[in-house]
Amino acid sequence: MTDKSPAAEWGSLTSSEFQSNDKWWPNALNLRILHQNHPDSSPFGPEYDYRKAFAGIDVEALTRDVDALMT
C-alpha cells in the first residue's frame, strides 16, 4: 500500500472513531438539548402522583380494549 491509500488513514482510526456519527456527518445538528428532564417539561405538573394514577386503572377493561383493538 502507498501513503496515498485511503486504507492508510482508516488504519489510524479506532473502531469508535470510525463508526461515530461525527465522522460521517460532521455538520449534524446537535440535539442533546432535547434530552433534558426539566420539571417544566412534564405535562402533568410536579404534584402528579403516577402511583395513584396507575392504581386507578381497570386492568381487565384495558385488557379487553386492547384485545378488541388487536383482533
Instruction: Render pLDDT for 30-42 as a digit per residue (tens, 0 to 9).
Output: 888 887 877 777 8
- State the cell numbers at 22: 461525527
Tell whether 1 is covered by a domain. no
Tell whether 12 is covered by a domain. yes
Higher confidence at residue 69 or residue 1? 69
Tell whether 33 is covered by a domain. yes
The Cα-based distances of 27 to 18, 23, 30 in angstroms read 16, 10, 9
Rounding to the nearest 10 degrees, give the CA dihedral for residues 24, 25, 27, 32: -120
User: Whole domain around residue 37: which residue ranges?
Assistant: 6-70
Question: Which residue is associated with the grid cell 381497570?
Answer: 58
Query: pLDDT at position 52, please?
Result: 94
HSE, CB side, 13 Å, CA atoms: give it for residue 43. 0
The least confident of 13-17, 25-29, 34-38, 64-68 is 13-17
